[in-house]
């Protein structure tokens, strides 16, 4: 055994030689891999380079980044008003929202898509787990330098090396910061290091209120009108009570008053305007949506989660606290879905926040946008009282409660509205942590002013219906009531001022916005200008002679100017920022499925009641898209201040359209 392990002298010498050779190879290899610390180039902290980042597609209602990019490129230093005017020009007055309508994280029934697939990635809409961002190196970056990036948001951290001119797209976790380091190498110079932390702030905004808040008057996709006439009956009865107005393009049913069938209403509805939410006439043109979009555009390192709940026709009692009737049906490819009623906004908001809290207990509402109160004093009844002239229609409207006098509205303004507003304040307090300054109340604009004075009245803008004629005295009375009583009272209620008592004056005051009212004083429904669209100037008679009275000729083309109704452009810039009845018909031509009084439900689509309702329920005496943009411009600084985002540079004011009084 000893002989087996004992080596000869020759063998021992061979082992020594081989061992020495092996050690030599290992030493040589180590010398190529390990650099003594004294010889390594020192990493220096860069002082002239920065890591810049922004959230991509950060208005989270949009599924696709191209829709947000359109807003970014158009706003780009402009006011929201100027951007709306630019978008109107780009779309030839057809409206930018018509192409965005089907690419949202909330469907037309109002249901939030959970999850919502945004740019190919499934996200929780109300409770995001991460956000897509773009990161790049800016400043004095050496040409041709190489960047070694490290994102410490996991184990192991994410690393990437590429040319410093290239940006990196990635998703970062929500709720905690992501440390970022980049080492910049250029030639033989020592590497330079830049560090930062990325933390996305997701701002959660809810929009509440009535038709002004929802965007009434501005369908996302306006109705396409037929150049042929469509017959309506009036309450006068007989052939003398028939008149023709433009119909809906694509409608295959009977256009004559004496022929109708049971399927006509559904066929008619399929050819109507389209809304982001038909039941509430929610529109992407509303000041609430436009402000939320602009907030996201102007603040690259936040995301905006926007929950629109406002509903046309809402009052504090019916709409905010209780359910209300839906305005229109959702038109699908092969079906009509009619909700019948819409849930109370307070209940909807509470349910959404409860669902979010289950997934993210720390998730809270940051801001509420609110406009409410006009329907409480029955403003639509005041409008009807002004414009319905013919005695037959006035008598019927009075009997069914459609008309409201200034005295009746004044009584509500002084008694029940303050009481209901106090209840609303109490209900909103828990949503905003007890601080009602986080409720941004955007006030109304007086719709009937031009050059600071009441519009003169007459049939101009209201001759869509034979019974309409804005009575000058009643119009002046309503205008003065709105200016001197309604608007001041709304401000007192929101701000706990002027004798309005609140439990805690400091924490019960809402943030109040009314700066837009001065601009609207030159842009009421009767404002006209040489820069108005040619169709308006040629076809909408200022004296109320826009339509052919003869029913034979009117059946072929009811417009006296000879042009086709399809040439009307709902979103072309105009001097008026308020829709008149003609605008309302030509933009939306609404056939509401439920009205103020059930007895007014029309019998068929040619019914006399439809003629009245279709002219006003699509947004008559409501702001146009330009008007909403002006309101959004006023609301944006207030919202940014409440959110602690700081005020950006004052936006460039949109080119004003000089109005002239009729």
Q: What is the DSSP letter of 98?
A: G
What backbone phi and psi angles, to 5 degrees, belong to 611? -60, -40
CB 268 within 8 A of CB 252: no
Instruction: Tell me the mean pLDDT in the region 261-278.
Output: 83
Same domain, yes or no: 220 and 344: yes
Instruction: Tell me the mean pLDDT in the region 110-136.
Output: 97
CA distance 235 to 252: 26
Task: Specify the pTM.
Answer: 0.90
CA dihedral over 401, 405, 407, 412, signed as positive or negative: positive
Q: What is the pLDDT of residue 266?
A: 77
Same domain, yes or no: 258 and 329: yes
User: Mean pLDDT lowest for which of 12-21, 82-91, 329-338, 413-422?
Assistant: 12-21
Q: What is the pLDDT of residue 611?
A: 77
605 band by pLDDT with thresholds 50, 70 and 90 = confident
9 occurs within a structural domain: no
Instruction: Tell me the mean pLDDT in the region 170-192.
Output: 94
Radius of gyration of the chain (CA): 32
- The contacts of residue 147 (CB under 8 Å, 6+ apart) are 137, 161, 162, 163, 164, 166, 182, 183, 184, 185
Domain extent for 72 = 65-103+204-643
Catalogue the E-assigned strands of 415-462: 439-442, 449-450, 453-454
Same domain, yes or no: 190 and 237: no
User: Measuring CA to CA, which residue among 273, 611, 309 is closest to residue 431?
Assistant: 309
489 occurs within a structural domain: yes
Helices (H) and strands (E) in the chain, counts: 21, 23
Above 50 in pLDDT, residue 649? no
Same domain, yes or no: 182 and 249: no
User: Measuring CA to CA, which residue among 286, 113, 278, 275 is closest to residue 207?
Assistant: 286
- What rounded mean pLDDT belongs to the chain? 88
CA distance 580 to 591: 17
Q: What is the pLDDT of residue 602?
A: 61
User: Measuring CA to CA, which residue among 619, 579, 571, 587 is closest to residue 461?
Assistant: 579
Query: Is the bond preceding residue 521 a cis peptide, omega within 30 degrees?
Result: no
Q: What is the pLDDT of residue 653?
A: 35
120 occurs within a structural domain: no
Question: What H or E segment, with its residue span, contains residue 207?
Answer: strand 201-209
Of 600 and 110, which is predicted with more confidence? Answer: 110
Please report, for residues 328, 416, 426, 445, the alpha-carbon distance to residue 412 in angstroms, rounded to integers and kept in the order given: 28, 5, 20, 20
Same domain, yes or no: 449 and 598: yes
CA 580, 585, 586, 590: dihedral to nearest 10 degrees? 130
Same domain, yes or no: 84 and 177: no
Residue-wise pLDDT for 212-243, tens only, equals 999 999 999 999 999 999 999 887 776 778 99
655 band by pLDDT with thresholds 50, 70 and 90 = very low
Instruction: Tell me the mean pLDDT in the region 624-630.
Output: 98
Q: What angle do CA 113, 117, 118 make, to 5 degrees?
A: 115
Q: What is the pLDDT of residue 601?
A: 53
35 occurs within a structural domain: no
- CATH number of 553's domain: 3.40.50.1110
How far the first Cα of the chain sits from its last, in Å, is 125
Instruction: Tell me the mean pLDDT in the region 537-544.
Output: 96
CB 366 within 8 A of CB 435: no
- The contacts of residue 609 (CB under 8 Å, 6+ apart) are 595, 600, 601, 602
Which residues in 65-97 are b (16+ Cβ under 10 Å) and which e?
bebbebbbebbeebbbbbbbbbbbeebebbbbb
432 band by pLDDT with thresholds 50, 70 and 90 = very high
CB 329 within 8 A of CB 337: yes
Instruction: Tell me the mean pLDDT in the region 543-566.
Output: 95
Q: What is the pLDDT of residue 648?
A: 43
What backbone phi and psi angles, to 5 degrees, belong to 125? -70, -50
CB burial of residue 304 (10 Å; 0-12, 13-18, 19+): buried
Of 611 and 542, which is predicted with more confidence? Answer: 542
Query: Is the bond preceding residue 446 a cis peptide, omega within 30 degrees?
Result: no
Q: What is the pLDDT of residue 488?
A: 98
CB burial of residue 28 (10 Å; 0-12, 13-18, 19+): exposed
CB burial of residue 252 (10 Å; 0-12, 13-18, 19+): exposed
188 occurs within a structural domain: yes
Residue-wise pLDDT for 38-80, tens only, equals 444 578 898 899 999 999 999 999 999 999 999 999 999 999 9
Above 70 in pLDDT, residue 370? yes
CB atoms within 10 A of CB 99: 15
CA 397, 401, 405, 409: dihedral to nearest 10 degrees? -150
Q: What is the pLDDT of residue 612?
A: 80
490 band by pLDDT with thresholds 50, 70 and 90 = very high
28 band by pLDDT with thresholds 50, 70 and 90 = very low
Same domain, yes or no: 381 and 430: yes
Same domain, yes or no: 186 and 256: no
Q: What is the DSSP letter of 212?
A: H
Number of domains present in the structure of the chain: 2
Q: What is the pLDDT of residue 337?
A: 80
Above 50 in pLDDT, residue 451? yes
Same domain, yes or no: 194 and 209: no
CA distance 434 to 439: 10
Above 80 in pLDDT, residue 336? no
Above 80 in pLDDT, residue 419? yes
Same domain, yes or no: 454 and 438: yes
Of 132 and 602, which is predicted with more confidence? Answer: 132
Q: What is the pLDDT of residue 261?
A: 61
Q: What is the pLDDT of residue 21?
A: 36
Same domain, yes or no: 93 and 148: no
Q: pLDDT > 90: what percent of the chain? A: 74
2 occurs within a structural domain: no
User: Measuring CA to CA, which residue among 323, 358, 314 is closest to residue 343?
Assistant: 323
612 occurs within a structural domain: yes
- CATH number of 172's domain: 2.60.40.10
Same domain, yes or no: 160 and 286: no
Above 90 in pLDDT, residue 361? yes
Q: pLDDT > 70: what percent of the chain? A: 88
Q: What is the pLDDT of residue 654?
A: 37
173 occurs within a structural domain: yes
């Amino acid at each position: 055994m000893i002989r087996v392990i004992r080596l000869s002298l020759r063998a021992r010498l061979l082992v020594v030689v081989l061992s020495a050779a092996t050690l030599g190879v290992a030493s040589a290899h180590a010398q190529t891999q390990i650099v003594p610390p004294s010889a390594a180039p020192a990493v220096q902290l860069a002082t002239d380079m920065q890591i810049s980042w922004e959230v991509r597609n950060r208005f989270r209602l949009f599924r696709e980044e191209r829709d947000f990019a359109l807003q970014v490129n158009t706003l780009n230093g402009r006011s929201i008003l100027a951007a709306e005017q630019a978008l109107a020009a780009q779309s030839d007055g057809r409206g930018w929202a018509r192409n965005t309508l089907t690419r949202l994280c909330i469907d037309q029934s109002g249901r939030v898509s959970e999850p919502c697939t945004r740019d190919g990635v499934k996200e929780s809409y109300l409770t995001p787990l991460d956000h897509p961002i773009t990161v790049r190196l800016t400043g004095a970056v050496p040409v041709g330098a190489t960047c070694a990036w490290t994102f410490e948001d996991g184990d192991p951290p994410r690393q990437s090396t590429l040319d410093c001119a290239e940006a990196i797209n990635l998703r970062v976790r929500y709720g905690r910061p992501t440390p970022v380091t980049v080492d910049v190498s250029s030639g033989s110079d020592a590497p330079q290091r830049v560090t930062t932390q990325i933390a996305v702030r997701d701002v959660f905004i809810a929009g509440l209120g009535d038709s002004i808040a929802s965007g009434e008057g501005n369908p996302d996709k306006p109705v396409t009108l037929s150049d042929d006439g469509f017959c309506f009956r009036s309450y006068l009865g007989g052939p003398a009570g028939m008149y023709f107005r433009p119909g809906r393009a694509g409608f295959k049913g009977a256009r004559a008053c004496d022929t109708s069938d049971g399927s006509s209403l559904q066929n008619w509805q399929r050819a109507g305007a389209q809304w982001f939410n038909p039941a509430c006439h929610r529109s992407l043109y509303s000041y609430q949506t436009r402000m939320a979009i602009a907030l996201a555009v102007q603040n690259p390192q936040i995301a905006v989660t926007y929950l629109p709940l406002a509903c046309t026709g809402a009052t504090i009692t019916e709409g905010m606290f209780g359910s209300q009737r839906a305005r229109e049906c959702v038109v699908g490819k092969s079906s009509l879905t009619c909700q019948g009623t819409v849930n109370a906004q307070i209940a909807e908001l509470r349910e959404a926040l409860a669902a979010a809290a289950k997934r993210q207990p720390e998730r809270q509402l940051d801001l509420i946008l609110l406009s409410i109160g006009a329907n409480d004093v029955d403003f639509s009844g005041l409008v009807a009282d002004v414009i319905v002239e013919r005695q037959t229609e006035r008598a019927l409207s009075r009997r069914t409660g459609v008309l409201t006098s200034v005295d009746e509205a004044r009584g509500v303004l002084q008694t029940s509205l303050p009481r209901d507003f106090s209840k609303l304040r109490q209900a909103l307090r828990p949503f905003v942590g007890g601080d009602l300054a986080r409720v941004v109340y955007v006030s109304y604009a007086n719709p009937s002013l031009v050059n600071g004075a009441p519009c003169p009245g007459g049939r101009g803008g209201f001759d869509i219906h034979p019974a309409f004629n804005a009575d000058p005295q009643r119009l002046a009375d309503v205008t003065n009531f709105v200016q001197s009583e309604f608007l001041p009272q709304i401000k007192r209620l929101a701000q706990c001022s002027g004798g309005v008592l609140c439990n805690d004056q400091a924490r019960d005051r809402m943030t109040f916005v009314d700066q837009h009212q001065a601009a609207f004083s030159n842009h009421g429904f009767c404002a006209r200008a040489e820069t108005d669209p040619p169709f308006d100037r040629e076809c909408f008679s200022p004296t109320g002679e826009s339509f052919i009275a003869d029913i034979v000729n009117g059946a072929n083309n009811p417009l006296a100017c000879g042009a086709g109704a399809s040439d009307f452009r709902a979103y072309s810039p105009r001097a008026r920022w308020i829709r008149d009845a003609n605008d309302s018909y030509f933009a939306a031509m609404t056939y509401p499925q439920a009205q103020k009084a059930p007895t007014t439900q029309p019998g068929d689509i040619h019914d006399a009641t439809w003629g009245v309702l279709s002219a006003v329920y699509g947004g008559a005496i409501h702001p146009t898209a330009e008007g909403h943009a002006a309101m959004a411009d006023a609301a944006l600084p207030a919202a940014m201040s409440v959110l602690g985002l700081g005020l950006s540079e004052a936006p460039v004011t949109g080119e004003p359209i000089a109005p002239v009084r009729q």
